[in-house]
Structures are given as C-alpha cells and as structure tokens.
Amino acid sequence: MTDYAEEQRNELEAMESIYPDSFTVLSEDPTSFTITVTSDAGENGETVEATLKFTYVGKYPDEPPLWEIHSQENLDDSDMEDIITLLQQQAEENLGMVMIFTLVTAVQDKLNEIVDVMKNRREEEKRRKEREAEEAEKVEFQGTVVTIENFLAWKAKFELDMAELRRKKQKEEEQAGKPKLTGKQLFERDHNLDTSDIQFLEDAGNSVEVDESLFQDIEDLDLDEDDPTFDPLEMGSDED
C-alpha cells in the first residue's frame, strides 16, 4: 500500500533543498507551498516570472496536485493560459510519480521561450518601423503619383479656387470704385497668353542677350549671286 504522506514529505524536503530561495510553505494541512520560477535574462536583461502554488491532495502522486499561478511578472493572459495548459499536460503524463520538480522545470523552460518570443517581437517591431520609415522617405522623395483621377480632382479644385479669387478681386475693385468688367473683358483678362512674350521683353527691359556666334556672317558665305539657281529663300529652308 502506498504511503502517500511519506512520499509527500520526502518530495517537500527535496523541493526545499533544490529551491531554497524561492520555496515557501503556506500551510501543513493540507500541505500547500509556492515556488517562484524566473526565466533566464533576455538580451536586454528583461525577465518573466511566475510564482506557482501547489497543494497536495490525499492520494498524490496517484492523483495530480492542485496548482495555480499565485503571482506573475511581465506575463500576459495568453502566456498564463499556456502555462496552465502545460501543467495539465505534464501532470497527466507523470501520474503515479512525484512530479513537482518536473512541473516546475517545464514552466522554467516555458518562461525562457516567452523571453525569446519577446525578443523576436521586439526585433520584428524594429524592422517594421524601419520599413515604414523607408516607405515614408520614398513617398516624400517621389512625391504623389499623378493619375487621371487625382489630376482631374486637382484641376477642378484649382478652377474653383481661381474663380473664387477672381470674384473676390472683382468685389474689391467694385468697392474701390473701379468699373465692373464685362464678361468679354473678364475673358480677355484670363486669356492674356498672347501678350506674354511682349510682357517678358518689357519686364526684361528689352535687354535680351543673343549669342551672335550662333549666326554666320552672310559675307563669309561662299555664295554666287550670279548663279541663276541661287535663291536665298531656299537657304533658310535647307537649314530647317
């Protein structure tokens, strides 16, 4: 006949010896205790931690102990659910044998995995931000791609803005006592491209520079004016 009490006492002493700094007895009847499990330090010194509470039942180890996560640090809800599932699985696989050390070791490995996942998440987040920064830089460098749709939208807005500016200017002129322009005058004012070259020359003060070297002096040309086939007009057409 199995002496459950003896097996439990022996395991309790072993756990206290193995985990002297993290083992705490909470009660003796029923026997209840906690063991704090901490992951190895991650790349930046971060750790995760879980304090597991175990309670022996009368027929342990032929029946699994009761357990719960008594407290935790840096674990989210999904991590704690994974740990509970892991404990259930390990307990079922080890029925009939004292199992506290096995359960704690499994949780230790799980915490180390969680730290690795945190590291991978952090690296992926860093890469994501770098990609977003690169894309933003490309967009800023290339500008907005012109499509028929956004060009027509811009054109419509531009025309509305210009019409509004003309309306405001006309109103200001009327308020200043200037005569109101007729529809024809407004049309002619908006279609002043025909005089743009003249305006350019006036603005430049008629001081447009011409590179005379681009033109060959007609006296330097070997032309035979007595040649009946000579036609100065054809010369211009040849150059074209």
Q: Give me the amino acid identity at 198.
A: I
Whether residue 96 lies inside any domain: the answer is yes
For residue 70, the enclosing domain spans 4-119
Q: Tokens 């309790």 belong to which residue? A: 12
The token duo for 63 is: 């029946």
Strands 23-28 and 31-38: antiparallel
In CATH, what number is assigned to the domain containing residue 93? 3.10.110.10
Whether residue 25 lies inside any domain: the answer is yes
pLDDT score of 223 more than 70:
no
Q: In angstroms, rounded to a whole number, what is the distance separating the alpha carbons of residues 96 and 2?
A: 10
Whether residue 178 lies inside any domain: the answer is no
Mean pLDDT of 21-29: 93
pLDDT score of 144 more than 60:
yes
Q: In this predicted structure, which of 16-20, 60-64, 142-146 has the lowest mean pLDDT?
A: 142-146
Nearest in space to 112 (alpha carbons), one of 78, 75, 85:
75
| Average pLDDT over all residues of the chain | 79
Check residue 240 and give its pLDDT: 47
pLDDT score of 129 more than 90:
no
Whether residue 56 lies inside any domain: the answer is yes
Of all residues in the chain, what percent carry a pLDDT higher than 90?
Answer: 42
Whether residue 17 lies inside any domain: the answer is yes
188 or 80, greater pLDDT: 80
Q: In angstroms, rounded to a whole number, what is the distance separating the alpha carbons of residues 222 and 219?
A: 8
* Residue 90 contacts residue 69 (beta carbons within 8 Å): no
- The structure's pTM equals 0.53
The 10 Å Cβ neighbour count of residue 193 is: 8
